[in-house]
Structure 1
Amino acid sequence: MTNLKLPEDFETYPEARKNAFLKMKELKESGRRIVGVFCTYTPWELIEAADAAAVVLCGIGDDNIPIAETRLPQNLCPLIKASYGAALADRCPFFYFSDMVLAETTCDGKKKMYELMSELKHCHIMQLPPGKTGRGALEFWKQEVISVKEDLEDFYHIRITDEQIRKAIHLRNRERKAVLDFFEIGRLKPTPITGYEINTVISSNEFTVDLEEKIKYLEHRTAELKELYEKEYKGKPSRPRVLITGCPTTGVIDKIVRQIEELGADVVGFENCCGPREKKDPIDETKDPITAIAEKYLRVNCSVMSPNPGRLEALDAQIDEYKVDGVVEVLLQACHTFAIESDAIRTFVTKEKGLPYIAINTDYSSGDQAQINTRLGAFIEMLG
């Protein structure tokens, strides 16, 4: 086992969340509008155009799962249970301070959970089409985007103009580039940053309401890491390089991401919702803003879409660009769409790319940590 090299001022994800709680309280007391969100399909530009702050509500720990299971089945995705449990127990300041929730039907479990969550707070649920290429899919999704704009206007008693949306699109595109540039530090070989830091920084920065502040921080850290690479890493031997794919990793960052690196490999990239999936694709700033938003978010390569060939294309590109030695797929309990896609992912990675692959099925508990460590240790030895 090795100790991870992290910046002296490194803030863990739980610490970042705790500090963000206080910022949310200050924002709320100052009269700022706050909208809770869940997924990469959510059109944050409309929230920004409404002069509101978006804050991620996804649960990350297992402490609120027991109360969620008083109304939800035990064999449900831990992310869904943790998110609902935190809201139901009134233990999530982000949910508490949110005026409303903007969510989307990315899976059957989520959309039924949102029905229960709607008993606690106003929830606007965007209905995703079953596929992004079907007849009428784009027009259907565009109407859902329009419904978000109208609900924000009705809820806050405001009017959102096209000019406000265009400004929000431009700002969010700048943020996308800053995030993508930070992710792509992992392409350097050997990497000057741990995957644990990448995952933590990106997830923690979702709590930064001031997007200009977020952009400035990411640009500064990216420049620091490029300089560090030139001074200390360039030309040196590299550890085995791992790409993570599958379900979101924020809730298992210590359990899987950190363990991979402490066992002797480097996590250099993420092909999942915590990675650059949504950031690679900016919104077209020359089109009608509502149409451009609808087109952009419908292109997200999530396993909820059928068919979903874009995921294999993105995975193919990342494996090559990040010079990957092996792929770890994270599958959260009862996430059926990713679990079913895992067979195609395994076949693609092992047959088409000729690389080792392992799938880790888990939840947010710690009971399987020893087993996971054993399997990851054997996998990393194989990469060596």
Structure 2
Amino acid sequence: MRPESMKIFDDLRNLNVLTIQNAKKNGEKVVGCYCTYSPQELILAAGAHSVTLCGTRQEPVAAAERDLPRNLCPLIKSSYGFAITGKCPYFEAADLLVAETTCDGKKKMYELMGKIKPMHVMNLPQSADSEGALEQWTQEMHRFKAWLEQKFAVRITEEDIRKAIKLMNRERNALRRLHAVTKFKPSPITGVDLLVSVWTKGFNVNKEEGIKLVEDLAAEVEAMAARGESPFTADAPRILLTGCPVGFGSEKVVRLLEESGASVVAFENCSGYKSLDRLVDEDPNKDVMVALAEKYLNIPCSCMTPNQGRLELIGKLAKEYEVDGVVDLTWQACHTYNVEAFVIRDYVQKQLNLPYMHLETDYSESDVEQLRVRVQAFLELIQG
């Protein structure tokens, strides 16, 4: 059984392409984003559309490897491959790109991508708690705001930013509500469908319509849970997925887990709950740029050192979603997440007393059967 609303999300990506093309015909501006550290509020306040860019499929990787090393993260290669092949309609529609210095591979790739379209790279502090980090990141917010004003020949007012903050907080709360439906036991929605709906929402250019779609889906799934409807058996192991971001086209580990009998109920990664855990402070007496900087600086990505926030978020989700095990997914050559896996394993096994499995893979299907064997053995361990 599957929520009827998922049919809308299945078609949403194609509909979003038409919407973005019509927006361009009407002279509207578009800014493409790659990461959750990109402050969408400033883009919206500039009167532009903020849209997620493609980077979760295997197909463009070969083209990217003509310029990039093969032993590089597939997310970086896929993103660059989409850019140089012209196969991402959102990249084609974008007037400007915004990026950030999360990892070395990304920031060097952005140098090449910046030759294709105007790009602004935000210099992200590598430690949220270090002295001067908040001040530095606040200045980066001001720098990005000034760049948008110059490129679009607009003036971004404080009122514009506060209005955008309220809109983005509403979107985050709608997505929080959707994520929360998997707290029901058993979950009334598959992890794959939850992933697809959240990922597809990132390409939605009309924020109000997108919020309504998410709220409608959440309401339908809540009603399913109240009727006791679920695609899972009551004893299906409940899994928390942490690690690198996952999207449509790179969801093979989620599919393998659920094909093997598990229910993926929580996504700690930045394509899941990580960017939703904290809202932007709407206090009218607070400096609006500081409020933005605080929210985005405290996203617990593995590029941060130390990264205590990730442990705290995993612990919180593991408790709230009553998980039976944790799967830590690392894309090949993602060094920060790979090294941090040691810390996560220690925390999950010793502090949370939960089974833990670390998987390192890429976007290709070449290792699916090897992964299936490991996944099945992990689930047998949980059930045994």
Given the two structures, how large is their TM-score scaled by the length of structure 1? 0.95
Instruction: Quote how far apart the aligned CAs of 1:222 are.
Output: 1.3
Q: Does structure 1 retain, via aligned residues, the 8 Å contact 2:238–2:323?
A: yes
Across the two proteins, how many residue pairs are aligned to each other?
379
Which amino acid is 2:252 matched to?
K
Aligned-pair CA distance for 1:16: 4.1
**Alignment partner, residue 188 of structure 1:** 184
Distance 2:103 2:250 in 1: 22
Contact persistence 2:3–2:217 (CA under 8 A)? no
Using the alignment, how far apart are the partners of 1:125 and 1:112 within structure 2?
11
1:276 match? 273
Query: How do 1:18-97 residues align onto structure 2 when only pairs under 5 Å count?
Result: 18-97=14-93
Report the CA distance shift for 1:373/1:188 in structure 2 as closer, same or farther (over 3 A).
same
Q: Can you give the 5+ residue segments of structure 2 that lack an aligned partner in the other structure? A: none
* SS of residue paired to 1:232: coil
The residue number in structure 2 matching 1:328 is: 327
C-alpha distance in 1 between matches for 2:43 and 2:347: 38
CA contact (8 A) 2:300 2:307 kept: yes
Does residue 129 of the first structure (1) align with residue 128 of the second (2)?
no
Contact 1:331 1:362 in 2 (8 A): yes
CA contact (8 A) 1:12 1:200 kept: no
CA contact (8 A) 1:196 1:253 kept: no
8 Å Cα contact 2:56-2:250 kept in structure 1: no
Aligned to 1:222: 218
Match of 2:163 in 1: 167
- Over 3 Å counting, the alpha-carbon distance change for 1:11 and 1:105 in structure 2 is farther
Q: Quote the sequence identity (%).
A: 45
Of stretches 16-25 and 239-248 in structure 1, the one that deviates more from structure 2 is: 16-25
Tell me the CA shift for residue 252 of structure 1. 5.4
Q: How far did 1:81 drift?
A: 0.4
Q: Find the aligned partners of 2:198 and 2:74 in 1 and give their Cα distance.
A: 21
Supply the RMSD in Å over aligned alpha carbons. 1.6
> 2: CA distance between counterparts of 1:176 and 1:92?
25
Of 228, 231, 234, which aligns to 1:237? 234
Q: Quick check: 1:267 aligned with 2:264?
A: yes
- What amino acid is aligned across from residue 296 of structure 1 in structure 2? K
Residue number in structure 1 paired with 2:318: 319
Letter in 2 for 1:201: S
- Structure 1 unmatched ranges of 5 or more: none
Kept in 1, the 8 Å contact 2:243–2:269? The answer is yes
User: Does 1:116 find its partner at 2:115?
Assistant: no
Query: Could you tell me how far apart the structure 2 residues matched to 1:168 and 1:232 are?
Result: 38
1:366 is paired with a residue whose SS is coil
CA distance in 2, matches of 1:305, 1:162: 29
2:92 and 2:359 map into 1 onto residues whose CA distance is 33
Deviation at 1:6, TM superposition (A): 2.7
The Cα offsets for residues 257-311 of structure 1, whole Å up to 9 and x where unpaired, read as 1121111010000110111111121111111211100111111111101111011
Are the aligned partners of 2:34 and 2:53 in contact in 1 as well (CA < 8 Å)? yes
Change (3 A) 1:220 1:278: same
